[in-house]
Amino acid sequence: MTQKSGDNPEQTPPRRRAGLVSFGADVRRLIAPVLGKKGFIQADILARWTDILGAELATGVQPASLSFSKSADGALLRVNAYSGAYAMEFNARKQQIIEKLNTYFGYRAISDIRVTQGGFTPKLPKSAAVPSLPPEKQRQIAAETAGIENEALRAAATELGALIESAKK
């Protein structure tokens, strides 16, 4: 029995699936030669940043650069924190983050992390919409906040009062 050229699995091109296909695994394979050995670390850090820090901290802290030194044991990762609060939280967890990164890579890839404040505006989640309250509750909240002179502060206190009243239900 003769084989057709299409019957040999080594000659058969891979079958393509119809529909949407994940693109992430192919990207790493394609950009690995461009990034080189050390650049691969940078791509993985960027791709897994939210997994490394957690969603809340990753919102306010972003990786900025990764620098390698011949004298250092590992690389220096520089990050930007949106505010002092994010910087403090990050610094409190810095050793855990370094350990997590090095465990992920399987060797001491990162020796230290330096935090700089500022440099970007985070994409914060939208706040909850102020619920509509019965008119008597709205009047009560307005009366309680009427003594606040600063208009922006009065509006914020009124919104907070509405949120507290809606949570009581």
| Contacts for 105 with CB less than 8 Å, ≥ 6 apart | 41, 44
pLDDT value of residue 25: 58
Domain-by-domain residue ranges, the chain? 24-117, 135-168
Distance between CA atoms of 54 and 34, rounded to whole angstroms? 29
pLDDT value of residue 26: 62
One-letter amino acid of 148: I
pLDDT tens per residue across all 169 residues of the chain: 454 545 555 555 555 555 555 655 565 566 555 555 555 567 778 888 888 888 889 989 998 888 887 777 888 899 999 888 999 999 999 999 999 988 888 888 889 999 999 877 777 667 667 778 889 999 999 999 999 999 989 998 998 888 888 887 6
Distance between CA atoms of 43 and 132, rounded to whole angstroms? 46
pTM over 0.75: no
Distance between CA atoms of 21 and 17, rounded to whole angstroms? 8
| Contacts for 40 with CB less than 8 Å, ≥ 6 apart | 28, 32
Q: Looking at domain 24-117, which of 1.10.287, 3.30.300, 3.30.200, 2.60.40 is its CATH number?
A: 3.30.300
Q: At what angle do helices 94-105 and 84-92 cross, to 10 degrees?
A: 60
pLDDT value of residue 129: 73
Distance between CA atoms of 135 and 141, rounded to whole angstroms? 10
